[in-house]
Amino acid sequence: MSDSRFDARFDPGQADGRWQRAWDDAQTFRADDSSTKPRSYVLEMFPYPSGRIHIGHVRNYTMGDVLARYKRMTGHEVLHPMGWDAFGMPAENAAMEKKVHPGAWTYQNIANMKAQLKRLGFALDWSRELATCDPDYYGHEQALFVDLFEAGLVYRKESAVNWDPVDQTVLANEQVIDGKGWRSGAPVEKRKLSQWFLKITDFADELLEGLGTLEEWPDKVRLMQENWIGKSSGLQFSFKLSDGGSLEVYSTRPDTIFGASFVAVAPDHPVAQAAAANNPEAEAFIEQCKRGGTTAAELETAEKLGFDTGITATHPFSGAELPVYIANFVLMEYGTGAVMAVPGHDQRDFEFATKYGLPIVRVVAANAAEADAPLSEAEAGDGILVNSDFLDGMSVEEAKRAVIGRAESEGWGQGKTVWRLRDWGVSRQRYWGTPIPFIHCSACGVVPVPKDQLPVVLPEDVDLSVPGNPLVRHPTWKHVDCPQCGGKAERETDTLDTFVDSSWYFLRFASQPADRPFDPAEVARWLPVNQYIGGVEHAILHLLYARFWTRALARTGKLEVREPFASLFTQGMVTHETYFREIDGREVFYSPAEIERTSAGATLTEDGQPVEIGRVIKMSKSKKNTVDPDEIVARYGADAVRWFMLSDSPPERDLPWSEAGIEGCWRFVQRLWRLFGQYDGGAQGEDKALARKTHQAIAAVGEDIEALSFNKAVARIYELTAAAEKAAPSADRSAAIRTILLLASPMMPHLAEEGWAAIGQQGLVADAPWPEADPALLVEDEVTIAVQHKGKLRDTLTAPKGASKEALEALALASEKVQRSLDGADIRKVIVVPDRLVNIVT
């Protein structure tokens, strides 16, 4: 049966745009706040408007889109919004390089990227679009920040920044390369500035406890957050110093106290500062530490260095005098900024002790006989205490309790819980961010901008060709009258970390009143987000800050929701082969567009000569292994690209882009189109086997989409397609074809709409209900049983489903192949797993 409408190939060039307009015109994907249907909030992490969407965005948004469309088809009112994380450094860099205003650059990028997203046919509610750089958005953020200030969750303190002494500007960590400023090349210094902080540590316990309720988050992300929050219990105690002072240290291993051979303090610890005051060498050492990197990774990979202050600390039990060192690996931010160092059982201390010839004593061993076994590295494991006076023979846990008990009863220390989590520094000395809505008055101090004077809008007339924050240099902007006393005062010129912007955008999507950040009742109807999707790189910071911000608002009574994201999914990256040649000892990379790729190798189109095929890595501009979503959509249509994003690789893993892969997807689009052409609404007759496969596919694809296992759903659709193609015409075959169209529609919506209309169905397939699986057709009546002997497969048998163990055993023993394998051996045992296998043990 052929149909003239299907004579031509499916042409995405004209079909894609037509259906995108049809959805727009019908407002198909607009979320109805007053709907009585069950709600589903599907959200992907919003993009930074860099100018072009990246293939990684396409993957991320395709996953969310399939889920959103599926949820609509299964009867949900779906909120699936999109917006722009629009503040940040790239806009300032562009302003410097291209002499464009950050705002103009950003809005142009948004326009470009929005058009790109539209061409992919995403089922988004664009009526809720927002950009964080819009005063309409950041003005509300300023109000929330003032609320948190009034709730006592905002404060100011001194904190170090990377200072470029040549450009006279603060640098982000990524702008510091090998300890030097990226533009000036000057050695970066640490400089202390008074900055704004949010009290995330007030919520450490809550954020940790809350992880337990996030059952639909990946375990790995929960574990990473747990480790980041880093709750530890230990002993804080005081050493008496030889100079008459005392020194508070914190240790999570008080059981190892008899193994302490020195004490180490951070370079910015008061004891170190005091040593520097009367010792030029100590001062020089501290200066050297300041020149090192600021990041934890740099500090911990750097060679362990120390400076002996000459001061000693008295061991609380043995009375031994331990040298006090200034050490570059001790962090002022954690605990008390000073540690008792136990080289035998801490690797950093071990390296340090080895370098400076300090004693390394074993105080934990597997058993008493091992007490004096030499240590070639620190042993952090469990065991019993040795060489430890009254602790000898105790377990690590018993010893911890014993030491804390003695310290508390003798009054020189106490058990203490310490968190690794530090308060969130939100000050940025930059222009393109949310102005912190405060005013500095010499009479009244730091005063919030009154709510009726918000938003504090960024000035437009700024000069970004000079390094440094233009808000500081601006002739008029910062000069204001104090809202309290009316006297002359100055605006705060720091702007907020962009992580603040992304800590509540999901609330604003759910509710957008003009006069307030959101309406709590409306938010409560949509939140928590049912499915949040984004990259693992956000596993800690963004997700923890968003959880904190939500809880902080809840504490101030602004919100009922405590955990914003009920279910989280972290998708993998899109990768691609790299192509390069070594020229003068340097690797020169070529983009895929410049390459002819065959199964044998790759050549450069320009000169026909071979190039080397490098590793498959994350797409990046510097390696030129990117592909442009627009180009591939223009070549293959949105549906083939979407299908490729979902096929093959499981969504949490990396997806290698390949030309052959997208070609295969294109062919499948056309194959489905031909199959739709075989649809005959009037076909008669049964095909029980195909009907069974159809209903099994309905059940499986639904489950796979719910589990976000798109690659498996895709495989199921391939299977059913192959079965339907082979089947003879029948009513069941037509039902199978119609079902395939529906099952594929969230993934290939344009093809599905075109096919839906062509087979004479009413309305949009986007509005059609998801097919229901008939439970009676899901079960097979025959199963294949594997028969093993000596742990190896010997035969497979067909048996009725639910056959008894005895029947299966008899069937297995009757097999000729099995008898040959047994070769008359005595049967010791037969294991039968019903409907699965028989294992004969001889």
Nearer to RNA, 57 or 315 (CB): 57
Smallest distance, RNA to C-beta of residue 655, A: 6
Report whether 253 contacts 342 (CB < 8 A). yes
Nearer to RNA, 76 or 623 (CB): 623
Smallest distance, RNA to C-beta of residue 458, A: 15
Closest CA to 814 of 833, 842, 795, 836: 795
Helix (H, G, I), strand (E, B) or coil at 784: strand
Nearer to RNA, 125 or 795 (CB): 795
Place of tokens 């019908």: 26
Smallest distance, RNA to C-beta of residue 337, A: 14
55-73 vs 688-706: helix crossing angle, rounded to 10: 120
- What's the alpha-carbon Rg for the chain, to the nearest Å? 33
Percentages (nearest 5) of helix, strand, coil residues in the chain:
40, 20, 40
**Residue 674 backbone class (left: φ over 0; alpha: ψ -120 to 50; beta: rest):** alpha
Smallest distance, RNA to C-beta of residue 688, A: 20
| Neighbouring residues of 371: CB distance < 8 A, sequence distance ≥ 6 | 362, 365, 386, 387
Nearer to RNA, 62 or 427 (CB): 427
**Structure-block tokens of residue 542:** 């963004």
Nearer to RNA, 502 or 730 (CB): 502
Report whether 204 contacts 421 (CB < 8 A). yes
* Pairing of the two strands 413-419 and 231-241: antiparallel
Residue 364's beta-bridge partner residues?
385
Smallest distance, RNA to C-beta of residue 695, A: 17
* Pairing of the two strands 39-44 and 531-535: parallel
Nearer to RNA, 209 or 537 (CB): 537
Given strand 154-164, what is the order of strands in its sheet? 169-171, 154-164, 189-198, 424-425
Nearer to RNA, 18 or 157 (CB): 157
Residue ranges for the known binding site are 621
Per-position DSSP letters for 455-476, written without gaps between them: --PPPS----SSSS-HHHH-SS
Q: HEC profile for 478-497?
A: CEEECCCCCCEEEECCCEEC
**Structure-block tokens of residue 475:** 């002739």
Smallest distance, RNA to C-beta of residue 9, A: 8
Smallest distance, RNA to C-beta of residue 840, A: 8
**Structure-block tokens of residue 107:** 């809005």
Residue 435's beta-bridge partner residues?
495
Nearer to RNA, 169 or 312 (CB): 169
CB atoms near residue 611 (< 10 Å): 21
Nearer to RNA, 187 or 483 (CB): 187
Q: HEC profile for 76-112?
A: CEEECCCEECCCCHHHHHHHHHHCCCHHHHHHHHHHH
Smallest distance, RNA to C-beta of residue 521, A: 30
Nearer to RNA, 116 or 658 (CB): 658
412 vs 239: CA distance, rounded Å: 8
- Please report the sign of the dihedral spanned by the C-alpha atoms of residue 808, residue 809, residue 810, residue 811: positive
Helical residues (DSSP H) of 727-762, grouped into ranges: 731-744, 749-758
CA atoms within 13 A on the CB side of 707: 11
Smallest distance, RNA to C-beta of residue 374, A: 18
Smallest distance, RNA to C-beta of residue 537, A: 4
- Provide the terminal-to-terminal Cα distance of the chain, rounded to the nearest Å: 59
Smallest distance, RNA to C-beta of residue 324, A: 23
367 vs 372: CA distance, rounded Å: 10
Residue ranges for the known binding site for ATP are 621
Nearer to RNA, 171 or 552 (CB): 171
- Please report the sign of the dihedral spanned by the C-alpha atoms of residue 132, residue 138, residue 140, residue 143: positive
Helix (H, G, I), strand (E, B) or coil at 43: strand
Smallest distance, RNA to C-beta of residue 166, A: 17
Nearer to RNA, 196 or 237 (CB): 196
